[in-house]
Amino acid sequence: MSILVNQDSKVVIQGITGQHATFHAEEAIRGGTNIVCGVTPGKGNTAHIGLPVFHTVGEAVEVTGADVAGIFVPPPFAADAIMESIDAGIRVIVVIADGVPVQDMMRVKRYLIGRDAVIIGPNTAGIITPGQCKVGIMPSNIYRPGRIGVVSRSGTLNYEAVEQMNALGLGQSTALSIGGDPINGCDFIAALQAFEQDPETDAVLMIGEIGGSQEVDAARWAREHMSKPVVAYIAGVSAPPGRRMGHAGAIIAGEADTARAKMTLMADLGVHIAENPAAIGAAVQAALDSVVPAGS
Protein backbone atom coordinates (compact mmCIF):
# COMPACT_ATOMS: atom_id res chain seq x y z
CA MET A 1 0.00 0.00 0.00
CA SER A 2 1.11 3.58 0.59
CA ILE A 3 0.25 6.80 2.36
CA LEU A 4 -1.43 9.92 0.93
CA VAL A 5 -0.92 9.17 -2.80
CA ASN A 6 -1.31 6.02 -4.89
CA GLN A 7 -2.34 4.73 -8.31
CA ASP A 8 -5.90 5.99 -7.79
CA SER A 9 -4.85 9.59 -7.07
CA LYS A 10 -6.06 12.19 -9.58
CA VAL A 11 -3.55 15.01 -9.71
CA VAL A 12 -4.06 18.64 -10.73
CA ILE A 13 -1.00 20.85 -11.27
CA GLN A 14 -1.48 24.49 -10.30
CA GLY A 15 0.70 26.66 -12.52
CA ILE A 16 1.06 23.86 -15.08
CA THR A 17 1.95 26.15 -17.99
CA GLY A 18 5.14 27.30 -16.28
CA GLN A 19 8.48 25.85 -17.42
CA HIS A 20 9.30 23.92 -14.23
CA ALA A 21 5.76 22.64 -13.75
CA THR A 22 5.68 21.43 -17.34
CA PHE A 23 8.98 19.57 -16.98
CA HIS A 24 8.03 17.81 -13.76
CA ALA A 25 4.47 17.04 -14.89
CA GLU A 26 5.76 15.34 -18.02
CA GLU A 27 8.30 13.35 -15.99
CA ALA A 28 5.60 12.25 -13.54
CA ILE A 29 3.28 11.18 -16.34
CA ARG A 30 6.04 9.03 -17.85
CA GLY A 31 6.38 7.35 -14.46
CA GLY A 32 2.70 6.46 -14.30
CA THR A 33 1.22 9.36 -12.32
CA ASN A 34 -2.39 10.10 -13.21
CA ILE A 35 -2.24 13.85 -13.84
CA VAL A 36 -5.73 14.74 -15.00
CA CYS A 37 -5.47 18.49 -15.62
CA GLY A 38 -3.79 21.78 -14.85
CA VAL A 39 -4.81 25.20 -13.56
CA THR A 40 -3.51 28.55 -14.74
CA PRO A 41 -5.74 31.59 -14.19
CA GLY A 42 -6.48 33.28 -17.50
CA LYS A 43 -5.60 30.20 -19.54
CA GLY A 44 -8.72 28.13 -18.93
CA ASN A 45 -10.44 26.32 -21.78
CA THR A 46 -7.07 25.52 -23.35
CA ALA A 47 -4.81 22.48 -23.36
CA HIS A 48 -1.18 22.01 -22.33
CA ILE A 49 0.96 18.87 -22.76
CA GLY A 50 -2.22 17.11 -23.79
CA LEU A 51 -4.12 18.01 -20.60
CA PRO A 52 -7.09 20.34 -20.10
CA VAL A 53 -6.29 23.62 -18.36
CA PHE A 54 -8.84 25.35 -16.13
CA HIS A 55 -9.10 28.88 -14.71
CA THR A 56 -9.69 27.63 -11.14
CA VAL A 57 -9.14 24.55 -9.01
CA GLY A 58 -12.85 24.41 -8.29
CA GLU A 59 -13.60 24.00 -11.99
CA ALA A 60 -10.85 21.39 -12.30
CA VAL A 61 -12.23 19.31 -9.43
CA GLU A 62 -15.80 19.54 -10.70
CA VAL A 63 -14.86 18.28 -14.16
CA THR A 64 -12.06 15.78 -13.43
CA GLY A 65 -12.53 14.71 -9.81
CA ALA A 66 -8.95 15.72 -8.93
CA ASP A 67 -8.08 15.03 -5.29
CA VAL A 68 -4.32 15.80 -5.14
CA ALA A 69 -2.72 19.13 -6.08
CA GLY A 70 0.86 19.98 -6.96
CA ILE A 71 1.44 23.72 -6.52
CA PHE A 72 4.12 25.17 -8.80
CA VAL A 73 3.56 28.89 -8.28
CA PRO A 74 5.94 31.61 -6.96
CA PRO A 75 6.15 32.04 -3.17
CA PRO A 76 4.08 35.27 -2.99
CA PHE A 77 1.11 33.49 -4.55
CA ALA A 78 1.47 30.12 -2.82
CA ALA A 79 -0.85 30.82 0.14
CA ASP A 80 -3.75 31.82 -2.08
CA ALA A 81 -3.16 28.75 -4.26
CA ILE A 82 -3.17 26.48 -1.19
CA MET A 83 -6.40 27.96 0.16
CA GLU A 84 -8.02 27.68 -3.26
CA SER A 85 -7.23 23.96 -3.27
CA ILE A 86 -8.55 23.56 0.27
CA ASP A 87 -11.80 25.25 -0.72
CA ALA A 88 -12.12 22.97 -3.75
CA GLY A 89 -11.92 19.84 -1.58
CA ILE A 90 -8.41 18.72 -2.52
CA ARG A 91 -7.23 16.25 0.13
CA VAL A 92 -3.42 16.32 -0.44
CA ILE A 93 -1.68 19.58 -1.38
CA VAL A 94 2.03 19.57 -2.30
CA VAL A 95 3.72 23.00 -2.20
CA ILE A 96 7.04 23.17 -4.05
CA ALA A 97 7.79 26.89 -3.55
CA ASP A 98 10.82 27.75 -1.41
CA GLY A 99 10.52 30.74 0.90
CA VAL A 100 6.76 31.22 1.28
CA PRO A 101 6.41 34.16 3.71
CA VAL A 102 6.02 32.96 7.29
CA GLN A 103 2.94 35.10 7.88
CA ASP A 104 1.33 33.60 4.80
CA MET A 105 1.87 30.07 6.11
CA MET A 106 0.51 31.08 9.52
CA ARG A 107 -2.61 32.29 7.72
CA VAL A 108 -2.84 28.99 5.83
CA LYS A 109 -2.46 26.95 9.03
CA ARG A 110 -5.32 28.87 10.63
CA TYR A 111 -7.41 28.41 7.49
CA LEU A 112 -6.79 24.66 7.60
CA ILE A 113 -8.33 24.22 11.06
CA GLY A 114 -11.39 22.01 10.83
CA ARG A 115 -10.79 21.17 7.18
CA ASP A 116 -9.87 17.78 5.76
CA ALA A 117 -6.64 18.38 3.84
CA VAL A 118 -2.95 17.54 4.23
CA ILE A 119 -0.34 20.09 3.14
CA ILE A 120 3.14 18.82 2.23
CA GLY A 121 5.66 21.66 2.19
CA PRO A 122 6.36 24.39 1.38
CA ASN A 123 9.96 24.05 0.19
CA THR A 124 9.46 20.34 -0.43
CA ALA A 125 10.75 17.91 -3.03
CA GLY A 126 7.29 16.35 -2.87
CA ILE A 127 5.90 12.88 -2.32
CA ILE A 128 6.21 9.63 -4.26
CA THR A 129 4.72 6.16 -4.04
CA PRO A 130 7.08 4.36 -6.42
CA GLY A 131 5.47 3.11 -9.62
CA GLN A 132 2.13 4.68 -8.72
CA CYS A 133 2.17 8.43 -8.14
CA LYS A 134 4.66 11.27 -7.85
CA VAL A 135 3.84 14.89 -7.06
CA GLY A 136 6.98 16.98 -6.83
CA ILE A 137 10.46 17.37 -8.21
CA MET A 138 12.28 14.24 -7.01
CA PRO A 139 13.79 11.96 -9.70
CA SER A 140 11.28 9.12 -9.77
CA ASN A 141 13.71 6.70 -11.45
CA ILE A 142 15.74 6.23 -8.25
CA TYR A 143 12.78 4.99 -6.18
CA ARG A 144 11.77 1.33 -5.95
CA PRO A 145 8.52 -0.20 -4.64
CA GLY A 146 9.02 -1.71 -1.21
CA ARG A 147 8.13 -1.62 2.46
CA ILE A 148 10.19 1.23 3.99
CA GLY A 149 8.49 4.55 4.64
CA VAL A 150 10.68 7.64 4.27
CA VAL A 151 9.99 11.09 5.70
CA SER A 152 12.58 13.85 5.59
CA ARG A 153 13.10 17.56 5.62
CA SER A 154 15.80 17.42 2.97
CA GLY A 155 15.07 16.26 -0.55
CA THR A 156 18.73 15.58 -1.29
CA LEU A 157 19.26 13.38 1.76
CA ASN A 158 16.02 11.61 0.86
CA TYR A 159 17.59 10.67 -2.48
CA GLU A 160 20.85 9.55 -0.87
CA ALA A 161 19.05 7.36 1.65
CA VAL A 162 16.90 5.80 -1.06
CA GLU A 163 19.96 4.89 -3.14
CA GLN A 164 21.57 3.23 -0.11
CA MET A 165 18.44 1.25 0.68
CA ASN A 166 18.02 0.20 -2.95
CA ALA A 167 21.55 -1.25 -2.89
CA LEU A 168 20.41 -3.44 0.01
CA GLY A 169 17.20 -4.49 -1.73
CA LEU A 170 15.02 -2.27 0.44
CA GLY A 171 12.37 -0.41 -1.56
CA GLN A 172 10.01 2.31 -0.41
CA SER A 173 6.27 2.25 0.32
CA THR A 174 6.05 6.06 0.15
CA ALA A 175 8.71 8.76 0.47
CA LEU A 176 7.97 12.39 1.26
CA SER A 177 9.83 15.54 2.17
CA ILE A 178 7.95 17.70 4.66
CA GLY A 179 9.93 20.77 3.58
CA GLY A 180 12.62 23.00 4.99
CA ASP A 181 10.75 26.27 5.59
CA PRO A 182 10.14 27.36 9.21
CA ILE A 183 6.41 26.53 9.05
CA ASN A 184 5.33 23.31 7.38
CA GLY A 185 2.03 21.67 6.75
CA CYS A 186 2.54 17.94 7.43
CA ASP A 187 5.08 17.30 10.20
CA PHE A 188 7.05 14.23 11.26
CA ILE A 189 4.38 13.00 13.68
CA ALA A 190 1.65 13.14 11.04
CA ALA A 191 3.83 11.11 8.67
CA LEU A 192 4.67 8.54 11.35
CA GLN A 193 0.97 8.15 12.18
CA ALA A 194 0.19 7.43 8.54
CA PHE A 195 3.03 4.94 8.16
CA GLU A 196 2.05 3.16 11.38
CA GLN A 197 -1.43 2.62 9.95
CA ASP A 198 -0.13 1.33 6.61
CA PRO A 199 -0.01 -2.49 6.74
CA GLU A 200 2.61 -2.65 3.98
CA THR A 201 5.16 -0.39 5.67
CA ASP A 202 7.55 -2.37 7.88
CA ALA A 203 9.81 0.44 9.14
CA VAL A 204 10.17 4.20 8.84
CA LEU A 205 13.24 6.27 8.11
CA MET A 206 13.11 9.84 9.43
CA ILE A 207 15.70 12.35 8.22
CA GLY A 208 15.84 15.57 10.22
CA GLU A 209 18.19 18.45 10.80
CA ILE A 210 19.27 21.03 13.34
CA GLY A 211 16.75 23.53 14.67
CA GLY A 212 13.46 23.08 16.46
CA SER A 213 12.05 20.09 18.31
CA GLN A 214 10.02 18.28 15.63
CA GLU A 215 12.30 15.26 15.44
CA VAL A 216 12.47 14.67 19.19
CA ASP A 217 8.72 15.26 19.54
CA ALA A 218 8.19 12.61 16.85
CA ALA A 219 10.48 10.19 18.69
CA ARG A 220 8.47 10.67 21.87
CA TRP A 221 5.26 10.01 19.95
CA ALA A 222 6.78 6.91 18.32
CA ARG A 223 7.83 5.44 21.66
CA GLU A 224 4.22 5.56 22.84
CA HIS A 225 2.35 4.70 19.65
CA MET A 226 4.46 2.90 17.05
CA SER A 227 4.86 -0.85 16.68
CA LYS A 228 7.32 -0.49 13.79
CA PRO A 229 11.01 0.43 14.10
CA VAL A 230 11.95 4.04 13.43
CA VAL A 231 15.39 4.94 12.10
CA ALA A 232 16.70 8.51 12.14
CA TYR A 233 19.54 10.59 10.83
CA ILE A 234 19.97 14.24 11.87
CA ALA A 235 21.94 16.47 9.53
CA GLY A 236 24.15 19.28 10.75
CA VAL A 237 26.53 17.73 13.27
CA SER A 238 29.16 20.38 12.49
CA ALA A 239 26.75 23.33 12.26
CA PRO A 240 27.74 26.31 14.44
CA PRO A 241 25.12 27.85 16.77
CA GLY A 242 23.19 30.85 15.45
CA ARG A 243 23.99 30.30 11.77
CA ARG A 244 21.37 29.08 9.31
CA MET A 245 22.48 25.97 7.44
CA GLY A 246 20.65 25.44 4.15
CA HIS A 247 16.96 25.44 5.00
CA ALA A 248 15.30 28.46 6.54
CA GLY A 249 14.29 26.43 9.59
CA ALA A 250 17.74 24.91 10.12
CA ILE A 251 19.29 27.09 12.78
CA ILE A 252 20.54 26.19 16.26
CA ALA A 253 18.79 28.41 18.80
CA GLY A 254 19.72 26.41 21.91
CA GLU A 255 21.65 23.38 23.09
CA ALA A 256 18.74 21.01 22.41
CA ASP A 257 18.65 22.10 18.74
CA THR A 258 22.04 20.59 17.85
CA ALA A 259 22.22 17.42 15.78
CA ARG A 260 24.17 15.57 18.46
CA ALA A 261 21.69 16.51 21.21
CA LYS A 262 18.77 15.41 19.09
CA MET A 263 20.35 12.09 18.21
CA THR A 264 21.15 11.39 21.87
CA LEU A 265 17.60 12.16 22.99
CA MET A 266 16.09 10.12 20.15
CA ALA A 267 18.31 7.13 20.88
CA ASP A 268 17.18 7.26 24.52
CA LEU A 269 13.59 7.15 23.22
CA GLY A 270 14.24 3.94 21.29
CA VAL A 271 14.93 5.30 17.81
CA HIS A 272 17.67 3.57 15.79
CA ILE A 273 20.27 6.23 14.91
CA ALA A 274 22.45 6.49 11.81
CA GLU A 275 25.55 8.32 13.00
CA ASN A 276 26.51 9.65 9.56
CA PRO A 277 24.83 9.91 6.15
CA ALA A 278 26.82 7.03 4.69
CA ALA A 279 25.35 4.69 7.33
CA ILE A 280 21.65 5.35 6.73
CA GLY A 281 20.96 2.25 4.63
CA ALA A 282 22.85 -0.02 7.01
CA ALA A 283 20.95 1.46 9.98
CA VAL A 284 17.61 0.68 8.30
CA GLN A 285 18.71 -2.90 7.64
CA ALA A 286 19.89 -3.29 11.23
CA ALA A 287 16.56 -1.99 12.54
CA LEU A 288 14.68 -4.53 10.43
CA ASP A 289 16.98 -7.31 11.59
CA SER A 290 16.27 -6.40 15.21
CA VAL A 291 12.54 -7.01 14.91
CA VAL A 292 11.46 -10.25 16.56
CA PRO A 293 8.95 -12.10 14.33
CA ALA A 294 5.47 -12.57 15.80
CA GLY A 295 5.14 -15.89 17.60
CA SER A 296 8.88 -16.24 18.22
Which residues are the active-site residues? Answer: 247
From residue 57, alpha-carbon distances to 42, 46, 80, 88, 228 in Å are 12, 15, 11, 6, 38
